[in-house]
Structure 1
Amino acid sequence: MTGAPVTRSFAFLVNPASGGGAAPGAVVPVARLLRDAGARVDVTYSPGPRAMTALVEAAVARGDVVVSVGGDGMLSSLAGAVATAGGTLGVLPAGRGNDFARMLGLPDDTEGQARRLLEAEVRHVDLIAWMPPGGPLRHVAGSVYAGVDARAGEIVDRAHRLPRSLQYPYAALRALATYRPARFRVSVDGASHEYAAACVVVAGSAYYGKGMRIAPDAVLDDGLLDVVVIEAASRPALLCSFPKVYSGAHVQLDEVTVLRGRRVELAADAGSGPGVPAGGDGEPLGTLPPLGGPAAVAEVLPGALAVLG
């Protein structure tokens, strides 16, 4: 592989469980190409969240690009640490969804991935700060979602026996077939709305759920969050409209509302059932607070993350 003189060094942080165990195999050929091009490459397998923060800080102090090797959950767990340390993040997609990599337009071939890491310019993209009442701050790269889609995320985590290409569609259809609508309060930049809804998505990126264009007009670096509310409908109607999510055409449906702003507050009641689950970039975020108390907050952090894109 030829190109511009190499000036970058890399610290690969690998989630060995990503992609059903595919991540370790993905890193080897890319690391070899980078080393052949003259780059210094360190590879570390994830020792757990607390140790990862220390590894990120050490890598940034050395001047390394921190490369996330795994899925959206791995990337999201590193993004806040990299941003806080003032470093740059690279992405080697090796998970089941890889939606943030899709939004960045990253190649899926080994040589293209190595070349992008060596030659891509640094761009600054937004992050989402997720702040549940009384809970710790979490950074999310792509989107926070609550309701039926978070339930689908729980099902995906139990669907390992299915082929990877079928896991997300199966989970989405299974969740839709058993969903119960909830009452959501959604406040965007101080303007409050209430909905009986199947789900609410707060997105900085267009994609989630392995290629679903849930927020088709979302932009990574516009300093805004796209809030997509899918109001309650019959199960057959939701199942019939589900394929539209892949093209983004669902936002034209009467039961879909799209809002846009910088600060979003969410609370919800699910009636007599359990609390309304929430998730972010494929990872569980607990349940939304009830309508009667303080809301959870999603706030955009404009340009917070430097990423090779």
Structure 2
Amino acid sequence: MRQFTAIVNPTAGGSAGAAALLRVARLLREAGARLDTEYSRSLAHAQELARRAGEDGRVVLAVGGDGIAGGIGGALSGTGTLLGLVPAGRGNDFARALGLPTEPAALARVLLDHAPRMVDTIEVESAVHPRTVVLGSVYAGVDALANRHANRSRLLRGSASYYAGGLRAVATWRAATFHVTVDGEKHTHRGYTVVAANSAYYGSGRMIAPGARLDDGLLDVVVIPEAPRRLFFTMMNELKTGAHVARPEVRVLRGREITVEADRAVPYGADGEVDAVLPVKARVLPGALAVLT
């Protein structure tokens, strides 16, 4: 019988994290599993708690959204510790990519009985930001600005906050020249955004990279060039299905190591948490994390 340590982000969706955990915890305990709960004071504290639980041989449950999932998953990358997710955040995109059920009984069965899946993680480095490891994607340009607006929204939640943040970001964005190096080959374009994706989803269910796979050892690099704003707004709607990648204006590259630079100070982010400025380097770590799914 698996033994669990749940780490709750008390700020993810207000009280949603604690409520989501309670529904699943009852089922785990009824099945005979032991479950301890820890509340994090910060992402760094959550990572410390996760490492400690992993060293004790426990399954670590990340309770919250993509920020805590990515932070804890990154901390456990390469350690062999099992990670489980209890989605309770604004986006839950990594849980979506894993195909995790949202119904508590089905999720409890996954956590109790299912075999782990080995998935890739992403090592991220920049000159002014320490090395970190994330799960879903690294994004630079208008996406990072949109995510910043969404995280600061107090009136909207979920996909509505990301959509509103995207509209605000696009309305004020001026194109930048990006230099994207993929496995040593340099590509230059002027435009809106570059996303290095391990997961198909970001921004609360938007399918930025429909061909991305969590366990193929590659990052899908989606490049969206300069275009009239009305076309970009159209592409924002196409992100619901991934149809944007069929447009001739959109490029999709694939590689193991990606460097993104720009001709001015352009923000980048990762898994909804990292908020810094280019340049940035992202490198895939194949099969580095064991996840219950």
Q: Distance in 2 between matches of 1:163 and 1:190?
A: 39
Identity %: 49
Q: Which residue of 2 aligns with 1:117?
A: 111
Q: Which residue of 1 aligns with 2:288?
A: 304
Q: Distance in 2 between matches of 1:87 and 1:280?
A: 22
Amino acid at match of 1:284: V
Between 78-87 and 238-247, the greater mean CA deviation after superposition: 78-87
Q: Distance in 2 between matches of 1:90 and 1:45?
A: 16
Contact 2:77/2:133 (<8 A) preserved: no
Amino acid at match of 1:304: A
Aligned with 1:141 (options 135, 138, 141): 135
Deviation at residue 24 of structure 1 after TM alignment: 1.2
Q: Is 2:142 aligned against 1:158?
A: no
Contact 2:123/2:133 (<8 A) preserved: yes
Calculate the TM-score normalised by the size of structure 2: 0.96
Q: Which residue of 1 aligns with 2:57?
A: 63
Q: Distance in 2 between matches of 1:165 and 1:83?
A: 28
Q: Which residue of 2 aligns with 1:281?
A: 271
Amino acid at match of 1:280: A
**SS of the residue 2:51 aligns to:** helix
Amino acid at match of 2:154: H
Q: Distance in 1 between matches of 2:58 and 2:136?
A: 24
Greater radius of gyration (CA):
1
**SS of the residue 1:172 aligns to:** helix
Q: Is 2:39 aligned against 1:45?
A: yes
Q: Is 2:62 aligned against 1:78?
A: no
Q: Which residue of 1 aligns with 2:183?
A: 189
**SS of the residue 1:18 aligns to:** coil
Deviation at residue 173 of structure 1 after TM alignment: 1.7
Aligned with 1:126 (options 111, 120, 123): 120
Deviation at residue 269 of structure 1 after TM alignment: 1.9
Q: Distance in 2 between matches of 1:265 and 1:113?
A: 37
Aligned with 1:35 (options 29, 32, 49): 29
**SS of the residue 1:247 aligns to:** coil
Deviation at residue 162 of structure 1 after TM alignment: 2.0
Q: Distance in 2 between matches of 1:146 and 1:32?
A: 41
1:100-129 Cα deviation digits (max 9, x unpaired): 000000011111111111111111000000
**SS of the residue 2:14 aligns to:** helix
Structural mapping, 1:3-42, within 5 Å: 7-42=1-36
Q: Is 2:107 aligned against 1:104?
A: no
Which blocks of at least 5 consecutive residues in structure 2 are unaligned?
none
**SS of the residue 1:243 aligns to:** helix
Contact 2:201/2:209 (<8 A) preserved: yes
Calculate the TM-score normalised by the size of structure 1: 0.92
Deviation at residue 207 of structure 1 after TM alignment: 0.3
Contact 2:25/2:35 (<8 A) preserved: yes
Count of paired positions: 293
**SS of the residue 1:246 aligns to:** coil
Contact 1:214/1:248 (<8 A) preserved: yes
